[in-house]
């Protein structure tokens, strides 16, 4: 199978299995994330009480941890959930939103990773860079660095945590300790919609839930995100209409459109 | 008046009275819920601090309790608000989101109901079933059972709490201890938008605020939800566009469309 | 420069500087607020943990404090952030959502203002009135009074806190201790979308971040809000479509449309 067959095959598996994805994520994007997972064919659940996160993990197929609006009570629940997911053996996908913007974020996400190493980390170049070195303070959740520049930090994190690291940008990089794949799909307009990165993280988790090879799952996920965004942008007159077209496209994405648009490269292959 | 006259009459009363609906609901759907209430002609307010919920209840015409993203602090406020609403005599509508998915949810919602019995309970078949017996664990907020299968649990709850119980599904059932009404409106696409069930609960509360007969209020509410969703689905190419068309249709719903589409049956009548 | 040149010039400066706006706001509107700031050309960040708000303020150009879904933990963080913003000298814009609806809201917002006076206060007539006198209890977040009626309270607050006070309504008033400007733009349909007032507050903060004269910044902000809403309403069939057209229009707003639609009057000029 060539890459486009693999990607289409992955999407069919996801739609067929409809995995339950447990999200502990930020307030800003909960609604978008849930809708994107539904449109994709997965089943979202949001739960953050430390009283129930382990039980929720026990019925879920992947766990998303997103620190976009973190606070101590939530961090405690994240830790509990990550631990339970690790014991159960389901993939944990971490989104270090705004890492580097404040010491609290940077330190919290580092501590979470050290206690329970995630399977996949997805962030923009600033965030991935901040996890590598806390020296570079960023402007919050925006990416102010090129994603290329985050390749060294990504490789470091990939080795350190035995994780797949996804660096989002105009080119997306999927990085392991020995390989770098790229996705060239997407649209600049996606950066004008809040939470598109967080949605990408949830989409990565949905594929990771059903595709055993986490690197391939991440590559497919970023391709599907980018292609859906690209097609949606063509139909949109701004970031408002993009949001809804994105969900419609994700829901309707067919083999022809997906294969025609795909611009990913697996350097390993 | 036949059923379609009753339904249209109820909608006019609601638009005329514009009742204030106090929502203690989950993070995922707060925005949708508020927008749906506004589009319907009601006035939403969200407040969850135990310092103010009783005061907010004192100016509200109905209270929505939705446990979708519960945690102990919020549960405490829910209890306070439900108690205040009971004393004041305004309808309390409970949405047991995800009941059955974790013991914490199931136990919490049962405890809330036992302390302050709600006037109306709205959930999908899994959730209603879980309140009847904690044996059957569900896959989170999705309904994996047919709503018909929840009729026995619904009747039990209706008797136990002297409540009207609404079971949502492709057919909606409005259940009391002596009667079952049905609504056949709606669209499958509504299940691909997060929080449509939570919106239904808020719409039920809005009608319950202005129509004394809570069973009839629930029947009208589920009809209006279903009809709006049905018309909106015809204009939509997926779950993204459905969301906004749903709000537009709710806002513009007129006598002709409502009466033409109505497929409800009051078995009692 | 006439007023329309000033307004266009302000918008260009904002888009050029893309200021980082730190929002401690309510759950209902976080997503809308972030999207409106992005569409406008600013950069939003949401952070509420007391562990990080001062650090976030240190990299931000303005701070939004919105009490729409307040609770004690958040109020503590608001106070910390407002104090840090005051020390740093960046504008603080306060939105007293629902002030007057409950004693807790009214007292909390008064205490926040007294400890750290905001630079700009934006609310509807009910809310502004409630800050003046706690006698008049309101129906939650709706404005039930004409904005004209809030001019005396607004002048009082402007003097008391040396602040610019914006009273939103069919006419918007921008009030200082010696001046009243007005904006006649906007559409009634905007009142049927939740959080449009909260969005206005964030837009005010974005302009206040880049325009030194806070009164002029507020006047431009309310003009841009109103014009974008007005144009969007013409393209919309209800509150659902209005939301997305509003973001698209904000994103694409050009000199011709802005100047053609502008109906503001600076009585001071």
Contact B240 A246 (CB under 8 A): yes
Q: Please list the residues that pair with B180 across neighbouring strands.
A: B175
Tokens of B122: 């709205």
Q: What is the pLDDT of residue B138?
A: 54
For residue C154, the SS3 value is helix
What ipTM was estimated for this complex?
A: 0.94
Contact B139 A246 (CB under 8 A): no
- Contact of B194 with chain A, judged by CB distance below 8 Å, is answered with yes
Tokens of B84: 């205040």
Q: What is the pLDDT of residue C269?
A: 43
Neighbouring C-beta atoms of residue C184, cutoff 10 Å:
14
Give C135's pLDDT tier (boundaries 50, 70, 90): very low
A141 pLDDT exceeds 60? no
Which chain B residues are closer than 8 Å to A34 by Cβ?
Answer: 28, 194-195
- Contact of C129 with chain B, judged by CB distance below 8 Å, is answered with no
Closest CA to A22 of A165, A222, A208: A208
Average pLDDT over residues A25-50: 98
Neighbouring C-beta atoms of residue B267, cutoff 10 Å:
9
* B-contacting chains (≥3 CB pairs under 8 Å): A, C
Asked if A22 and A78 count as a contact pair (C-beta separation under 8 A), the reply is no
Q: How far is CA A38 from the centre of its chain?
A: 15
Q: What is the pLDDT of residue C136?
A: 47
B128 pLDDT exceeds 60? yes
Neighbouring C-beta atoms of residue C135, cutoff 10 Å:
8
Q: Which residue in chain A has the smallest CA separation from B138?
A: A59
Tokens of B217: 């209020």
- Contact of B197 with chain A, judged by CB distance below 8 Å, is answered with no
Average pLDDT over residues C149-164: 94
Pairing of strands A164-168, A62-66: unpaired
Q: Please list the residues that pair with B43 across neighbouring strands.
A: B20
- Contact of B254 with chain A, judged by CB distance below 8 Å, is answered with no
Q: Please list the residues that pair with A264 across neighbouring strands.
A: A183
Look up the CATH number of domain A3-266.
3.40.1190.20
Which chain A residues are closer than 8 Å to B137 by Cβ?
Answer: 59
Q: What is the pLDDT of residue A146?
A: 67
Q: Rounded to an integer, what distance in angstroms lies between the CA atom of residue A25 and that of residue A47?
A: 9
B265 pLDDT exceeds 90? no
A267 pLDDT exceeds 80? no
Tokens of A187: 């649209």
CA torsion angle for A231, A237, A240, A242 (degrees, to 10)?
A: 0
Q: How far is CA C50 from the centre of its chain?
A: 23
Give A266's pLDDT tier (boundaries 50, 70, 90): confident
H-run or E-run covering C144 = none
Residues 6+ apart with CB under 8 A from A3: A262, A264, A265, A266, A269
Asked if C221 and C21 count as a contact pair (C-beta separation under 8 A), the reply is no
Average pLDDT over residues B119-126: 97
Tokens of A63: 């766990």
Q: What is the pLDDT of residue A269?
A: 43
Residues 6+ apart with CB under 8 A from B213: none
Average pLDDT over residues C219-227: 98
pLDDT tens figures, B237-254: 999 999 999 999 999 999
Mean pLDDT of chain C: 94
Which chain C residues are closer than 8 Å to A27 by Cβ?
Answer: 27, 30, 46
A142 vs C30, C43, C49: nearest CB? C43
Look up the CATH number of domain C3-264.
3.40.1190.20
C130 pLDDT exceeds 60? yes
Residue B31 C-alpha, separation from nearest chain C C-alpha, in angstroms: 5
Give B264's pLDDT tier (boundaries 50, 70, 90): confident
Q: Check residue C166 and give left, alpha or beta (phi > 0: left; psi -120 to 50: alpha).
A: beta
For B48-62, B171-185, C138-152, which range has the lowest pLDDT when averaged over its residues? C138-152
Q: Rounded to an integer, what distance in angstroms lies between the CA atom of residue A111 and that of residue A133?
A: 14
Single pTM value for the model: 0.95
> What are the Cα distances from residue B198, in Å, to A95, B36, B77, B257, C115?
27, 10, 19, 24, 39
Mean pLDDT of chain A: 94
Outline where DSSP puts E strands in B25-61.
43-46
Q: Rounded to an integer, what distance in angstroms lies between the CA atom of residue B164 and that of residue B157?
A: 8
Q: What is the pLDDT of residue C86?
A: 98
Closest CA to A208 of A83, A36, A82, A42: A42
Domain positions in chain B are 3-262
pLDDT tens figures, B14-28: 999 999 999 999 999
Q: Rounded to an integer, what distance in angstroms lies between the CA atom of residue B161 and that of residue B172?
A: 20
Task: Kindly give the interhelix angle for C239-252 and C214-234, rounded to the nearest 10 degrees.
Answer: 130
B137 pLDDT exceeds 60? no
- Contact of B70 with chain A, judged by CB distance below 8 Å, is answered with yes
Neighbouring C-beta atoms of residue B212, cutoff 10 Å:
8
Closest CA to A14 of A217, A219, A214, A243: A217
pLDDT tens figures, A64-112: 999 999 999 999 999 999 999 999 999 999 999 999 999 999 999 999 9
Question: Is residue A196 classed exposed, middle or buried when 0-12, 13-18 and 19+ CB atoms within 10 A define those classes?
Answer: buried
State the best of B19, B30, B64, B76 to mutate against chain C, taking most chain C CBs within 10 Å.
B30
Q: Which residue in chain C has the smallest CA separation from A104?
A: C52
A136 pLDDT exceeds 70? no
Asked if A241 and C244 count as a contact pair (C-beta separation under 8 A), the reply is yes
Which chain B residues are closer than 8 Å to A252 by Cβ?
Answer: 237-238
pLDDT tens figures, C58-100: 999 999 999 999 999 999 999 999 999 999 999 999 999 999 9
B230 pLDDT exceeds 60? yes
Contact A236 C251 (CB under 8 A): no
Q: What is the pLDDT of residue C142?
A: 52
C45 vs A27, A98, A243: nearest CB? A98
C144 pLDDT exceeds 60? no
State the best of C239, C241, C242, C243 to mutate against chain B, taking most chain B CBs within 10 Å.
C239
A142 pLDDT exceeds 90? no
For A148-152, A260-264, B175-179, B199-203, which range has the lowest pLDDT when averaged over its residues? A148-152
Q: Which residue in chain B has the smallest CA separation from C74?
A: B49
Q: What is the pLDDT of residue B212?
A: 97
Q: What is the pLDDT of residue A149?
A: 79
H-run or E-run covering B204 = helix B196-210
State the best of C247, C249, C250 to mutate against chain A, taking most chain A CBs within 10 Å.
C247
C31 vs B31, B49, B249: nearest CB? B31
Q: Rounded to an integer, what distance in angstroms lies between the CA atom of residue A44 and that of residue C69?
A: 25
| DSSP symbols for chain A | --HHHHHHHHHHHHHHH--EEEEE--TTTHHHHHHHHHHHT-EEEE---TTTHHHHHHH-SEEEEE-TT--HHHHHHHHHHHHHHHHHT--EEEE-TTBTTBHHHHHHHHHHHHHS--SEEEEEHHHHHHHH-TTS---TTS--S-GGGGHHHHHHHHHHHT-EEEEESSSEEEE-SS-EEEE----GGGGGSTTHHHHHHHHHHHHHHH-S-HHHHHHHHHHHHHHHHHHHHHH-SSHHHHHHHHHHHHHH--HHHHHHH--EEETT-
Tokens of B150: 């929840």
B136 pLDDT exceeds 50? no
Backbone torsions φ then ψ of A165, nearest 5 degrees: -115, 125
* A-contacting chains (≥3 CB pairs under 8 Å): B, C
User: How is domain B3-262 classified at the architecture level of CATH?
Assistant: 3-Layer(aba) Sandwich (3.40)
Neighbouring C-beta atoms of residue A115, cutoff 10 Å:
12
């Amino acid at each position: 199978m060539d890459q486009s067959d693999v990607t289409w095959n992955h999407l069919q598996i996801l739609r067929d299995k409809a995995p339950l994805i447990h999200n502990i994520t930020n307030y800003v994007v909960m609604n978008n994330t849930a809708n994107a997972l539904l449109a994709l064919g997965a089943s979202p659940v949001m739960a953050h009480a430390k009283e129930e996160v382990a039980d929720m993990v026990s019925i879920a197929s992947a766990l998303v941890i997103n620190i976009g609006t973190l606070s101590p009570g939530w961090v405690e629940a994240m830790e509990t959930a990550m631990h339970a997911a690790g014991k159960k053996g389901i993939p944990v996908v971490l989104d270090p939103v705004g890492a580097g913007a404040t010491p609290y974020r940077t330190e919290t996400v580092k501590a979470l990773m050290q206690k329970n190493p995630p399977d996949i980390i997805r962030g923009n170049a600033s965030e991935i860079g901040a996890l590598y070195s806390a020296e570079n303070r960023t402007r919050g959740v925006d990416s102010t660095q090129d994603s290329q520049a985050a390749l060294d930090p990504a490789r470091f994190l990939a080795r350190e945590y035995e994780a797949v690291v996804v660096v989002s940008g105009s080119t997306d990089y999927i990085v392991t300790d020995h390989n770098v794949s790229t996705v060239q799909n997407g649209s600049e307009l996606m950066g004008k919609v809040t939470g598109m990165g967080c949605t990408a993280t949830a989409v990565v988790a949905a594929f990771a839930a059903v595709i055993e090879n986490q690197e391939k799952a991440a590559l497919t996920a970023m391709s599907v995100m980018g292609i859906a965004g690209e097609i949606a942008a063509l139909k949109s007159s701004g970031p408002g209409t993009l949001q809804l077209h994105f969900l419609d496209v994700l829901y309707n994405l067919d083999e022809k459109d997906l294969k025609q648009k795909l611009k990913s490269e697996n350097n390993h292959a």
